[in-house]
Amino acid sequence: MTPQALWTAFTTIVTREVRRFTRIWPQTLLPPAVTMTLYFIIFGNLIGSRIGEMGGYDYMQFIVPGLIMMAVITNSYSNVVSSFFSMKFQRSIEELLVSPVPNWTILAGYVAGGMARGLSIGLIVTLLSLAFTQLSIHNLLMVVITVILTSALFSLGGFINAMLATKFDDISIVPTFVLTPLTYLGGVFYSIDMLPSFWQGVSMANPILYMVNGFRFGILGVSDVNPFVSLGMILVFIVLLAAVALRMLARGKGIRH
Amino acid sequence: MTYALDIEGLTKNYSDGFQALKGIDLHVREGDFFALLGPNGAGKSTTLGIVSSLVNKSGGKVRVFGHDIDTDLSSAKLSLGVVPQEFNFNQFEKVEDIVTTQAGYYGIPLKTARVSAEKYLKKLGLWDKRNTPARMLSGGMKRRLMIARALVHEPRLLILDEPTAGVDIELRRSMWQFLEEMNRQGTTIILTTHYLEEAEALCRNIAIIDHGEIIRHTSKRELLQQLSVETFVLDTEQPLEKAPELTAFKASLDDDGALEVEVAKGQGLNALFIELENLGIRVLSMRTKANRLEELFVRMVEENAREAEKASEVTA
């Protein structure tokens, strides 16, 4: 395929993905907006006003970056895992398999689709947060790079999950039992400085902690970890997961007999 | 010579040890209308699945218009359009979106894709349904949608796996006409079908596959010449109580009381009618009992099963 044809194939996949999640917006765009608004009201306003400051900021200001990141992570992941698994389930994945689209373009298309939803939700949650607090950006470049790379990373994770999944239960196991606990324990609602030293050490093994803190550094200028270490970790995980996903596609894991 | 499809020594072994294909060879000329026939589980869909990259092969070579799927898969895929047996599109997408999206996967820009989609959706009688979600279509419409989708990038080789399964007779005939027209315009067509009258009506060359092996690979004409006896069903003016005693033909009555007569190759039908006339039996109409290819197919598959049984007895 020529570079132009590859670009057409890539944009076709992305367009179809965007068409899918916007068509079912009550299932994809609305719920995170409602959930995050509840977080802002309950944790930020009601409980947060009694907690006082954290990391030198109002509790509401402290949790906003983490909540935006949480929404980006879960939506990037769930967009790819549910879309790709549905295609496997309906066998419409065969439309792609019979076509000359190379595996890396298929992967790039799905990841871009996941990022489109993750970042759209991130923007929606950011706009909603402005109704509750004021956000001043400490380092715009850091904010943009961290959120884009994190979205790409979890889109890749969703893709691998969908490749491995054989039934609908399999696509909810990782988000429920891995992603949600790691996100909640990843410093969204608290600074790890509050934890005993043992649990601080344990928290450092949680990759989501680095992403949340990298993003928080971009917005507030405070972080529990070195933000450049955060970026480095995200990049390493992206390369690793992309390699795994491409290997699975080449072998036809779960999609070819 | 470059074949539209050239398969050599193709094998497929599944992880449970089942050997679906035992080293088949298949050659389909450019411009051919080719039928791949066989009973359920014989290996038809596996073969076509490997050609269309939906199944990984275990061994052998597959070339599409000379493009080896091991070394030049992209070119092979560009030449190929596939209509699978099962519906495999997103049921929630609109008809036109399904077709244009498929074109996009082949690198065709949306503007060009829309023109091509309109052409094939109109030809297949689906243009009025272009904005309808696919799940709202009837079974026949869904089949035609898959044909339009397979043709949107103008492939030189079209593979159809049971294209008319579950389609009513009228629609089946109109699909035959469409496929014949595509073939006349130069598209090579390979189909699998359970309707052997379909293969007899459309195809010029035929391969029969059974238990993962090609048991016959020849032209339809040559195959039909092997048919030594043909059975005709005759509707008589007066119902018969028992089959007449004919000198040169074997006659019997079927369950509905119609007269069945076996006519050997080389025997003239005139002699039959003279005998019946002499017995005072007037014939109102006549038809073949089953289509000829079906008789041959059943016989070949049965013979193959018997030989396989004998071979297993010898080995045992």
Tell me, yes or no, whether B93 and B236 share the same domain. no
In the three-class reduction of DSSP (H, G, I as helix; E, B as strand; rest coil), residue B248 is classed as coil
Q: Do A256 and B14 touch (CB under 8 A)?
A: no
Q: Which of residues 156-215 of B touch A (CB under 8 A)?
A: none
Tell me, yes or no, whether B120 and B178 share the same domain. yes
Tell me, yes or no, whether B127 and B253 share the same domain. no
Band (B63; pLDDT cuts 50, 70, 90): very high
CA–CA min distance A247, chain B (Å): 15
Q: Do B107 and A23 touch (CB under 8 A)?
A: no
- Tell me how crowded residue A153 is: count the other CB atoms within 10 A of its CB: 28
Inform me whether the C-beta atom of residue B133 falls under 8 Å from chain A C-beta atoms.
no
Closest to A92 (Cβ–Cβ): which among B78, B80, B88? Answer: B88
Task: Report the distance separating Cα B153 and Cα B116, nearest Å.
Answer: 8
Q: Is B303 contained in some domain? A: no
Q: What is residue A240's predicted lDDT score, i.e. its pLDDT?
A: 95
Task: Report the distance separating Cα B205 and Cα B187, nearest Å.
Answer: 15
Inform me whether the C-beta atom of residue A3 falls under 8 Å from chain B C-beta atoms.
no
Closest to A95 (Cβ–Cβ): which among B73, B89, B92? Answer: B89
Q: Is A257 contained in some domain? A: no
Tell me, yes or no, whether B212 and B200 share the same domain. yes
Tell me, yes or no, whether B287 and B239 share the same domain. yes
Q: Judge whether residue A33 has pLDDT over 70.
A: yes
Tell me, yes or no, whether B17 and B91 share the same domain. yes
Q: Is B44 contained in some domain? A: yes
CA–CA min distance B44, chain A (Å): 15
Q: What is the DSSP letter of B253?
A: E
Do residues B239 and B73 make contact, with C-beta atoms less than 8 angstroms apart?
Answer: no
CA B179 to chain centre: 12
Q: Which residues of B touch A95 (CB under 8 A)?
A: 88-89, 101-102, 105, 149
Sign of CA dihedral B12, B13, B15, B16: positive
Q: What is residue B173's predicted lDDT score, i.e. its pLDDT?
A: 84
Q: The tokens of A6 are what?
A: 């590859």
CA–CA min distance A35, chain B (Å): 27
Tell me the Ramachandran region of residue A143: left when phi exceeds 0, alpha when psi lies from -120 to 50, beta otherwise: alpha
Q: Which residues of A touch B102 (CB under 8 A)?
A: 95, 99
In this predicted structure, which of A111-120, B197-206, B283-292 has the lowest mean pLDDT? B283-292
CATH of the domain at B262: 3.30.70
Tell me, yes or no, whether B51 and B166 share the same domain. yes
Q: Is A141 contained in some domain? A: yes
| Chains A, B: CB pairs < 8 Å | 85
Tell me, yes or no, whether B47 and B146 share the same domain. yes
Q: What is residue B314's predicted lDDT score, i.e. its pLDDT?
A: 55
In the three-class reduction of DSSP (H, G, I as helix; E, B as strand; rest coil), residue A224 is classed as coil
Domain count, chain A: 1
- Tell me how crowded residue B160 is: count the other CB atoms within 10 A of its CB: 23
Q: What is residue A191's predicted lDDT score, i.e. its pLDDT?
A: 82
Q: Is B246 contained in some domain? A: yes
Q: Do A99 and B105 touch (CB under 8 A)?
A: yes
CA–CA min distance A176, chain B (Å): 27
- Greatest C-alpha distance within chain B: 73
Q: Do A92 and B89 touch (CB under 8 A)?
A: yes
State the average pLDDT over residues B175-185: 91
Band (B81; pLDDT cuts 50, 70, 90): very high
Q: Which residues of A touch B52 (CB under 8 A)?
A: 97-98
Q: Is B71 contained in some domain? A: yes
Q: Which residues of A touch B49 (CB under 8 A)?
A: 257
Task: Report the distance separating Cα B308 and Cα A84, nearest Å.
Answer: 43
∠ CA A51-A55-A59, rounded to 5°: 35
Strand partners, A195: none
State the average pLDDT over residues B2-31: 92
Q: The tokens of A244 are what?
A: 């795994």
In this predicted structure, which of A107-116, A146-155, A204-213 has the lowest mean pLDDT? A204-213
Strand runs labelled E in B29-175: 33-37, 59-64, 67-68, 80-83, 157-161
Inform me whether the C-beta atom of residue A248 falls under 8 Å from chain B C-beta atoms.
no
Q: What is the DSSP letter of B88?
A: -
Q: For residue A214, give Cα distances in angstroms to A210, A226, B77, B165.
A: 6, 8, 44, 57
Tell me, yes or no, whether B199 and B155 share the same domain. yes
Tell me, yes or no, whether B147 and B220 share the same domain. yes
State the average pLDDT over residues B198-211: 87
Q: Is B64 contained in some domain? A: yes
Band (A183; pLDDT cuts 50, 70, 90): confident
Q: Is A209 contained in some domain? A: yes
State the average pLDDT over residues A28-41: 91
pLDDT digits (tens, 9 = 90+) for A134-176: 888 888 999 999 999 999 999 999 999 999 999 888 988 888 8
State the average pLDDT over residues A98-125: 96
B130 half-sphere exposure, CB direction, 13 A CA radius:
19
CA–CA min distance B76, chain A (Å): 8
User: Which residues span the domain enclosing B84?
Assistant: 5-224
Q: What is the DSSP letter of A194?
A: G
Q: Is A152 contained in some domain? A: yes
CA B212 to chain centre: 17
Which amino acid would we find at residue B152?
Answer: V
User: Which residues span the domain enclosing A51?
Assistant: 3-251
Q: Is A35 contained in some domain? A: yes
In this predicted structure, which of A13-27, B88-102, B125-139, B248-262 has the lowest mean pLDDT? B248-262
Q: Which residues of B touch A92 (CB under 8 A)?
A: 88-90
Mutate to test the interface with A, among B99, B105, B135 (most CBs of A within 10 A): B105
Q: What is the DSSP letter of A188?
A: S
Q: Is B92 contained in some domain? A: yes
Tell me, yes or no, whether B116 and B191 share the same domain. yes
Model confidence, pTM: 0.82
Q: Do A5 and B77 touch (CB under 8 A)?
A: no
Q: What is residue B228's predicted lDDT score, i.e. its pLDDT?
A: 65
Closest-CA residue to A153 (of A115, A98, A185): A115
Q: Do A102 and B102 touch (CB under 8 A)?
A: no
CA dihedral B171, B177, B181, B184 (to 10 degrees): 140
Q: What is residue B252's predicted lDDT score, i.e. its pLDDT?
A: 87
Q: What is residue B240's predicted lDDT score, i.e. its pLDDT?
A: 85
Sheet-wide strand order for B59-64: B19-28, B5-13, B59-64, B67-68
Q: Which residue has the tokens 């894991």?
A: A253
Domain count, chain B: 2
CA–CA min distance A121, chain B (Å): 23
Q: Do A8 and B54 touch (CB under 8 A)?
A: no
Inform me whether the C-beta atom of residue A96 falls under 8 Å from chain B C-beta atoms.
yes
Q: Which residues of A touch B146 (CB under 8 A)?
A: none
Q: A185: which residues sit within 8 A by CB, 6+ positions away?
A: A203, A206, A208, A209
CA–CA min distance B22, chain A (Å): 17
Q: The tokens of A235 are what?
A: 């990049």
Q: Which residue of A has its CA nearest to B99?
A: A95
Q: Do B106 and A9 touch (CB under 8 A)?
A: yes
CA–CA min distance A102, chain B (Å): 8
Question: Mind giving me the DSSP string for B124-160?
Answer: TT-GGGTTSBGGGS-HHHHHHHHHHHHHTT--SEEEE
Q: Do B101 and A257 touch (CB under 8 A)?
A: no
Q: Do B54 and A90 touch (CB under 8 A)?
A: no
Q: What is residue B80's predicted lDDT score, i.e. its pLDDT?
A: 94
Tell me, yes or no, whether B199 and B259 share the same domain. no
Q: Judge whether residue B315 has pLDDT over 60.
A: no
Q: Judge whether residue B120 has pLDDT over 90.
A: yes
Task: Report the distance separating Cα A233 and Cα B192, nearest Å.
Answer: 52
Most confident of A194-198, B19-23, B94-98: B94-98
Q: What is residue B295's predicted lDDT score, i.e. its pLDDT?
A: 67
Q: Which residue of A has its CA nearest to B20?
A: A257
Q: Enter the ipTM.
A: 0.86
Task: Report the distance separating Cα A168 and Cα B15, nearest Å.
Answer: 24
Inform me whether the C-beta atom of residue A70 falls under 8 Å from chain B C-beta atoms.
no
Q: What is residue A243's predicted lDDT score, i.e. its pLDDT?
A: 97
Q: Is A104 contained in some domain? A: yes
For strands B205-210 and B188-192, give the pairing.
unpaired
